Amino acid sequence: MDKRLDGHFRVSSCSSFEGGREEGELDGRSWRGQNEKGQVGEENFESGREEEEEDIEALSPTAVLPERWDVLGLGQAMVDFSGMVDDEFLERLGLEKGTRKVVNHEERGRVLRAMDGCSYKAAAGGSLSNSLVALARLGCKPISGPALNVAMAGSVGSDPLGGFYRAKLRRANVNFLSAPVKDGTTGTVIVLTTPDAQRTMLSYQGTSSSVNYDPCLATIVSKTNILVVEGYLFELPDTIKTITRACEAARRSGALVAITASDVSCIERHYDDFWEIVENYADVVFANSDEARALCDFAPEESAISAARYLSHFVPLVSVTDGPRGSYIGVKGEAVYIPPFPCVPVDTCGAGDAYASGILYGILRGISDLKGMGTLAARIAATVVGQRGTRLRVHDALKLAESFAFNLEINTIRSDVGSDHVSSL
């Protein structure tokens, strides 16, 4: 992909990608507990009816992989289990309510066995996968440009959960391209919510704790227009080497590199590693206001716009969200304010992931007006905030894409004098 001086991007899109069911897909089944070896069994699993219906609405993938990918996400592949429990359930398992805890294989099995009979759902989770699914749904039809090809790489095991993760993303038109690790166990996050809305989270890394740079990943990166690296990967041992090599390969092939900040504590623990990648490879950085301040090493009272301006001295385009106060897009030491799009908030989880998908969509569609790009991102975020669940729904994505195409046509007729442009990418 060429990064032209006029701020537009020349990108190549090909036909849609490989589809069909794959071995290990467990949608629509119920799972209960684990077997004697502690591996998740296949007998009583329910994956969430609403998400199923949304996936069925998506365009059916073809059997042919594209020659190039518009976006490749490199991140953690974790299956989320979410269920409603009472305080007695937590006490019985010795879990402290409202905490986050890393568990081992046996502890995970004990919790899942205890959930036998409880109502819970599973999803191909993760911040990056939320953004990729939203982007794929925005670009699933050739509106204002060719249909987008979206993929993810990471690490899943050859267990049923790994097959479930890959299949769920594929049904949402996101191809998971990394081969499963033989005899590996896919990582999970168990979210237990009590009636007072407090969430207790149990994380099991499994195979997801290691993402290797192999010839397969090298080939995929060389055929990608935008590489998006999830910040949570900086937490994994030795994965910084994979991130560096992937970013180097992306640069050699002319791709853009985008980094998601992901988490304040992660930035603080791996500050030097973050800056090594951001300063040397990043074309785009996604962060919320707290994460942006952490990257800048700013005090909590510093404003989000100050952080956006500072970071834009090092990165061509910086996206900083500031919750209900709006967001900022920083370029060349300046920042454009994007007001929040009006909505009645239902669930703010996933808002930042949705916003990032809007920025990526705007870049891929060649928009150079920062206000227009940010406004689209804010509308997408507001749509997700106004619903239950973290994923942009198919019908909402199509409406947003059509509205964006209409506004893009109107704006190309008008004069661009006085508008803010992406001239640094």
Mark residue 99 as left, alpha or beta (left: phi above 0; alpha: psi -120 to 50; beta: remaining): beta
The domain that holds 409 is classified in CATH as: 3.40.1190.20
**Domain residue limits at 224:** 2-79+124-182+208-413
- How far apart are alpha carbons 5 and 422 in whole angstroms? 9
| Comparison of pLDDT for 255 and 205, the residue scoring more | 255
Condensed to tens digits (0 to 9), the pLDDT of residues 237-295 reads 789 999 999 999 999 999 999 999 988 999 999 999 999 999 999 999 999 999 999 99
31 to each of 45, 120, 161, 309, 337, how far by Cα in Å?
Answer: 3, 10, 11, 49, 47
Q: Looking at the domain assignment, is residue 189 inside a domain?
A: no
Beta bridge partners of 203: 102, 189
Is residue 195 in some structural domain? no
Residue 219 domain-assigned (yes or no): yes
**Residue 410 or residue 103, greater confidence:** 103
3-state secondary structure string across 228-241: EEEHHHHHCCCHHH
**Residue 115 falls within a domain, yes or no?**
no
The verdict on residue 46 lying in a domain is: yes
Tell me what percent of the chain is helix, strand and coil, each rounded to the nearest 5: 40, 20, 40
Residue 108's contacts (CB-CB under 8 Å, 6 or more residues apart) are 34, 38, 188, 190, 202, 204
The total of structural domains in the chain comes to 1
Structure tokens at 424: 């640094």
> Using CA of residue 147, residue 153, residue 159, residue 164, what is the dihedral sign?
negative
For residues 80 and 27, the model is more confident at 80
In the predicted model, is pLDDT for residue 79 greater than 90?
Answer: yes
pLDDT band at 422 (very low <50, low <70, confident <90, very high): low
User: Which burial class, exposed, middle or buried, applies to 212 when counting CB atoms under 10 A from its CB (0-12, 13-18, 19+)?
Assistant: middle
Q: Determine the Cα–Cα distance for residues 149 and 177; give it in Å rounded to an integer.
A: 12
What is the average per-residue pLDDT within 346-350? 81
Short-list 164, 166, 155, CA closest to 30? 164
* Identity of the highest mean pLDDT range in 95-104, 300-309, 399-408: 300-309
Of 49-58, 59-68, 79-88, 299-308, the one with minimum mean pLDDT is 49-58
Domain contains 232? yes
Q: Which residues contact 330 (CB under 8 A, 6 or more apart)?
A: 308, 309, 311, 312, 315, 317, 318, 319, 320, 336
pLDDT band of residue 409 (cuts 50, 70, 90) is low
pLDDT of residue 141 exceeding 80, the answer is yes
What Rg do the C-alpha atoms of the chain give, in angstroms? 21
Amino acid at 368: S
Residue 116, domain member (yes or no): no
- Among the residue ranges 232-236, 247-251, 323-327, the one predicted with the least confidence is 232-236
57: confidence class by pLDDT, cuts 50, 70, 90: very low
Would the pLDDT of 8 be above 50? no
Q: What is the spatial distance between Cα 176 and Cα 24, in angstroms, rounded to a whole number?
A: 14
| Of residues 200 and 34, more confidently modeled | 200
Domain-located, residue 423: no
Mean pLDDT along residues 35-53: 43
Residue 257: which H helix or E strand, with range?
A: strand 256-260
Tokens (6 digits) for 113: 């066995």
Where helices occur in 139-270 by DSSP H, the ranges are 160-171, 215-222, 239-252, 264-269
Average pLDDT of the chain to the nearest whole number: 83
